[in-house]
Amino acid sequence: MNVGIVCYASVGGSGIVATELAKVLAARGHQVRLISTERPVRLGEFQAGLAFHEVHTPGYPLFRDPQYLLSLANKLVDVTRSFDLDIIHAHYAIPHAAAGYLARQILASSGRVRVPRIITTLHGTDVTLIGSDPSYSETAAFCIDQSDGVTAVSESLRDDTYRHLPVRAEINVIPNFLDCRHHQRRVDERLLARYRRGNPETKLVIHVSNFRPVKRVDVVVELFRRIRERLPARLLLVGDGPDLSGACRRAQELGLSEDIEPLGEQELVVPLLSIADLSLLPSAQESFGVAALEAMACEVPVVASRVGGLPEVITNGESGFLHAPDDLDGMTASALRLLSDPALHRGIARGGLQAVHTRFCAEEVVPRYEAFYEQVLARDPASVSSA
């Protein structure tokens, strides 16, 4: 099967999952074309069956903003003609599903007998933030409905889509996943010693995100302050975004600068997760929670908000701890219990690892995408979004 996967190249969850899907599909014998504005951070080294195509969006004085939608649609047309794509898999409704729809119309109008089917995967902010904005909602709903197949990464996101947008299409839930051969705990003792700064009693707390307001990094710093009052600990901040500098300023105001390590964007997070004792994810909203899944795979207990798709990933008290977003006392208590009770820490770490290996490894999830591709390809082309 020839598959074109369209995604953002950034560190956010949708780009990570789309890139991992491309790599696993190529390893399973498919021909995959990954299409984005720049090389995705998780693409890695050369892999047979997988190629990257960069979208170039030139700027012209006539246009106030770069016309990414148009250049992406044009690139999808070019790649389809060159490599005979069966599927264009758009990760994010706006603008990727819109570009896919436009590319399909161009190809059909050119007399091409067989045009690729468009599958759209919804990841979260394309529905809850961008798609629900009145400036985009009708376009987002139209592009979702015009897709030949639609998936969402959680039941929560599927329900949110129907609640926020006038969508008629059937939305199939296929969760995010990890390559569990790669995502597993491997402790680098030198790295561990470096961030513990010579004190073996120091606990390492980690937060991995794109540092957007929805991640509530100010709450991460506050939770860490409370933890630090009770035991020796250091906080690793992994990622970058608009709220990182504010978090660092707040840490300085609290006298915590020496205990916080802002590490920026990292392509490889497994080494850092592998030395961590606890992951904090007090988000205001998470459609799935890839950061939680990666921590669980590396046997790092997660304390998180009970929002969105996180309860579909974490079972409270078994594979992590969930609290209401405003329950900072509860989050602090769970964090301190985990960091001070080795038996509880081991039990929750085992529970998280078991959840990942039972439900969220590539071997479990990617065949569901393959089956969905086949289902969509077998349909009458006139039957759109009637899975």
For the chain, domains (ranges, CATH) are 2-177+362-378 (3.40.50.2000), 189-359 (3.40.50.2000)
pLDDT at 384: 45
pLDDT: which is higher, 386 or 182: 182
List, for residues 191-204, the tens digit of each pLDDT value: 999 999 989 999 99
How many Å apart are CA 185 and CA 300, to the nearest integer? Answer: 9
pLDDT for residue 348 is more than 50: yes
pLDDT for residue 65 is more than 90: no
Local confidence band at 63 (pLDDT 50, 70, 90 cut-offs): low
Question: Three-state SS across the chain?
Answer: CEEEEECCCCCCHHHHHHHHHHHHHHHCCCEEEEEECCCCCCCCCCCCCEEEEECCCCCCCCCCCCCHHHHHHHHHHHHHHHHCCCEEEEECHHHHHHHHHHHHHHHHHCCCCCCCEEEEEECCHHHHCCCCCCCCHHHHHHHHHHCCEEEECCHHHHHHHHHHCCCCCCEEECCCCECCCCCCCCCCHHHHHHHHCCCCCCEEEEEECCCCHHHCHHHHHHHHHHHHHHCCEEEEEECCCCCHHHHHHHHHHCCCHHHEEEEECCCCCHHHHCCCCEEEECCCCCCCCHHHHHHHHCCCCEEEECCCCHHHHCCECCCEEEECCCCHHHHHHHHHHHHHCHHHHHHHHHHHHHHHHHHCEHHHHHHHHHHHHHHHHHCCCCCCCCC
Averaged pLDDT score across all residues of the chain: 92
pLDDT for residue 11 is more than 60: no
Local confidence band at 168 (pLDDT 50, 70, 90 cut-offs): very high
Local confidence band at 385 (pLDDT 50, 70, 90 cut-offs): very low
pLDDT for residue 12 is more than 80: no
pLDDT for residue 387 is more than 50: no
pLDDT at 386: 41
pLDDT at 36: 92
List, for residues 286-328, the tens digit of each pLDDT value: 999 999 999 999 999 999 999 999 999 999 999 999 999 999 9
As a whole number, mean pLDDT of residues 176-186 equals: 94
State the Cα angle at 224 between 222 and 228, rounded to 5°: 120
List, for residues 223-257, the tens digit of each pLDDT value: 999 999 999 999 999 999 999 999 999 999 999 99
As a whole number, mean pLDDT of residues 2-21 equals: 85
